[in-house]
Amino acid sequence: MIIEDSELADWKKAGIISAAALQHGVKLIKKGALLLEVCEAVDAKITKLGAKPAWPSQISLDHVAAHYCPGFEDKTILDAQVCKLDVGASVNGCIGDNAATVDLSGSNSNLVEASEKALAAAIKAVKSGVTLGELGHAIQEEIASYGFSPVRNLSGHGLGRFEIHTRPTVPNFDNGDKTQLQENEVIAIEPFATVGKGIIYESMPAEVFMQASDKQARDPAIRKVLDKIRGYEMLPFAKRWLLKEFPAIKIALALKLLEQQGIIQSFPPLVEEAHGLVSQAEKTVLVKKNGCEVLTNAEY
């Protein structure tokens, strides 16, 4: 999305809060911590700083590349895993998107560094007129230099108001895309490095959903649930958020029917095909004529 000058303050605030929440979460990721408690603490930090979660904070472990969101009764205890924390804040619909990897095993620092250095290389290459393929090349080259593979069917993306994935798609390998970045475009650059095949697939069950249509629910019994979902402003939400207000059986039925009717869509966990460990690094940047401005830098 090409942003207007009048929106810039909100984009910058969203970025700063997102970065501060990510830093807060990284400090909480320790052996013995409950994954659910860390995610809820990160969401609370976003709210405390004056924004809304752009999606429920997620911690994906080891071979799960992304989209793992703890359920209402999740008992996962952090131990010796490779933990990918993905955090976003929304300020009037303007979104900051960032992620980091914490290696609790102590034996995968090179894998973590590969995604971080790939992100740095891509950010260095960003400017108005650079092609998406060139960014993908920078990411792929850096990850390969560590002996790992980029995850080819996960990518960075554009950001829009109340839209977490818009054009352009920012590849993690050189796909030859000649599309050029434009000045004042907001993008999230998101390298994933893996010891596996570099391909992910959707696993189940999904704990994250998003409203996809303005259609009304056919069943009057689930319309109150849909009314609550509409309050998330077309941004992703966690099933456990609804369970704080409605009975489990009602939520299970509502989510099933709403998805069947195309009113919501699910985001199941994404698993590396060979079950290889995955690391992730991500920042949101504003494209400039001769470079970029990183929006997700903490100031709190």
Catalytic residue, from 165, 202, 227, 299: name it.
165
Residue 141 a catalytic site member: no
Catalytic residue, from 10, 62, 86, 142: name it.
86
- C-beta of residue 280 within 8 angstroms of C-beta of residue 67: no
The values of phi and psi at residue 98, to 5°, are -150, 160
Cα-based distances in Å from 15 to 51, 134, 165: 10, 25, 16
Residue 86 a catalytic site member: yes
What is the DSSP code (8-state) at residue 149? E
Residue 134 a catalytic site member: no
Catalytic residue, from 43, 190, 207, 272: name it.
190
Residue 100 pairs in a beta bridge with 85
Please name the helix (run of DSSP H) or strand (run of DSSP E) that holds residue 23, with its range, or none: helix 8-28
Please name the helix (run of DSSP H) or strand (run of DSSP E) that holds residue 100, with its range, or none: strand 94-103
Cα-based distances in Å from 233 to 55, 71, 227: 11, 21, 11
Residue 185 a catalytic site member: no
Q: In angstroms, rounded to a whole number, what is the distance separating the alpha carbons of residues 171 and 189?
A: 9
- C-beta of residue 89 within 8 angstroms of C-beta of residue 53: yes
Q: Which two tokens stand for residue 258?
A: 């709403």
Residue 165 a catalytic site member: yes
Q: Which two tokens stand for residue 215?
A: 């259609």
Report the candidate in 135, 214, 207 with the shortest Cα–Cα distance to residue 170. 135
* Interaxial angle between packed helices 132-145 and 109-125, expressed in degrees from 0 to 180 and rounded to the nearest 10: 150
By residue count, the chain amounts to 300
Catalytic residue, from 97, 116, 174, 272: name it.
97
Residue 63 a catalytic site member: no
Catalytic residue, from 157, 174, 207, 272: name it.
157
Catalytic amino acids? Answer: 86, 97, 157, 165, 190, 282
